[in-house]
């Protein structure tokens, strides 16, 4: 393949742009904030689960406290009625004795129910406190995540702008390079990790970093200036023009 030396050297400029574009794209993929957003999003999901659980527990605790109150009320009312009947001296001795026994039984039952009611009230207080805690954390972490996402998007937009500028520069530059030479460069670049061309600096290929043997170097410099030379070691296009150091 033939191409004038100036055109071949423009490939080096294209390579520099391709390397810069790849670096920008890699930076966009590996921004530290990606991990931060992911971690906070995971925590947000966990907090959402905690809110659901706390809401359920608070609802159950309210129902339990309501049931406890409903159980206490009729016993307390019956106890009051019985006491009023005794105070009023209603009924004969046998009836009064029965009321006294029932009152004793009701008092024991009421004590049990009131203990259960206190436990239910305590459980409700704890459940509502937990719900308030996780709900507050949920609101806080929502704000944190929103701010992080906005920051990440800003950083990505800035990198995308830089990449777009370099891609525009590349398009303008590649428009001056013959299609067959550019296709060869792109094919080699795709095959060898993003690098398709190197320069012969002294006796070393900058693409692979290997110094040419005396024989290979002699062949490189002896080739016509417009011949597209390939590095024997890495098979990339080798742009000449600087001579031995």
* Claim to verify: residue 46 and residue 153 sit in the same structural domain: yes
Nearest to 149 by CA among 33, 43, 47: 33
Cβ atoms 14, 178 nearer than 8 A:
no
Establish if 81 belongs to a structural domain. Answer: yes
Q: Can you give the pLDDT of all 245 residues of the chain as single tens digits?
A: 999 999 999 999 999 999 999 999 999 999 999 999 999 999 999 999 999 999 999 999 999 999 999 999 998 888 888 788 887 776 677 777 877 888 888 889 888 988 999 999 999 999 999 999 999 999 999 999 999 999 999 999 999 999 999 999 999 999 999 999 999 999 999 999 999 999 999 999 999 999 999 999 999 999 999 999 999 999 999 999 753 33
| Domain assignment of residue 66, yes or no | yes
Domain endpoint, select from 161, 196, 225: 161
Pair 63, 157 in one domain: yes
Give a yes or no: residue 245 inside a domain: no
Q: In what order do the strands lie in the sheet with 197-201?
A: 204-205, 197-201, 237-239, 229-230
Which residue range forms the structural domain that includes residue 105?
A: 31-161
**pLDDT for 243:** 39
pLDDT at 193: 92
Tell me what pLDDT residue 90 has.
Answer: 65
Q: How many domains does the chain have?
A: 2
38 near 148, Cβ under 8 Å?
no
Same domain for 227 and 206: yes
Same domain for 111 and 203, yes or no, is no
Confirm if 7 and 177 have CB atoms less than 8 A apart: yes
Residues 141 and 36 in one domain: yes
Q: How many CB atoms lie under 10 A from the CB of residue 226?
A: 13
The Cα–Cα gap between 185 and 12 comes to: 10
157 and 230 fall within a common domain: no
Statement to judge: residues 18 and 42 lie in one domain: no
Same domain, 11 and 126: no
What is the distance between the alpha carbons of residues 204 and 199, in angstroms, rounded to a whole number?
8
Q: What is the pLDDT of residue 80?
A: 87
Query: Which CATH number characterizes residue 54's domain?
Result: 1.10.287.1700
Assess whether 18 and 115 both reside in one domain.
Answer: no
What pLDDT is recorded for position 86? 81
What is the per-residue pLDDT for 98?
Answer: 79
Q: Which two tokens stand for residue 45?
A: 């999901």
Give a yes or no: residue 72 inside a domain: yes
Q: How far apart are CA 124 and CA 126, in angstroms?
A: 5
**Cα separation, 187 vs 182, whole angstroms:** 9
155 and 48 together in one domain: yes
pTM: 0.73
User: Does 157 share its domain with 190?
Assistant: no
């Amino acid at each position: 393949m033939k191409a004038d030396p100036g055109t071949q050297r423009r490939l080096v400029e294209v390579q520099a742009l391709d390397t810069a574009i790849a670096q920008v794209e890699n930076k966009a993929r590996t921004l530290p904030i990606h991990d931060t957003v992911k971690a906070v999003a995971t925590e947000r999901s966990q907090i959402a689960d905690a809110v659901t659980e706390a809401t359920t527990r608070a609802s159950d605790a309210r129902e339990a406290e309501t049931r406890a109150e409903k159980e206490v009320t009729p016993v307390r009312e019956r106890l009051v009625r019985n006491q009023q009947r005794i105070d009023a001296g209603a009924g004969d001795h046998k009836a009064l004795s029965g009321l006294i026994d029932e009152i004793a039984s009701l008092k024991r039952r009421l004590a049990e129910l009131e203990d259960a009611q206190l436990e239910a009230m305590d459980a409700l207080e704890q459940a509502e406190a937990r719900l308030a805690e996780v709900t507050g954390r949920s609101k806080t972490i929502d704000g944190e995540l929103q701010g992080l996402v906005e920051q990440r998007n800003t950083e990505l937009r800035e990198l995308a702008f830089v990449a777009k500028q370099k891609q525009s520069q590349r398009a303008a530059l590649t428009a001056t390079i013959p299609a067959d030479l550019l296709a060869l460069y792109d094919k080699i670049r795709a095959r060898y990790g993003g690098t398709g061309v190197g320069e012969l600096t002294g006796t070393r290929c900058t693409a692979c970093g290997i110094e040419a043997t005396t024989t290979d170097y002699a062949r490189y410099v002896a080739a016509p200036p417009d011949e597209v030379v390939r590095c024997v070691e890495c098979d990339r296009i080798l742009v000449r023009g600087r001579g031995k150091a």
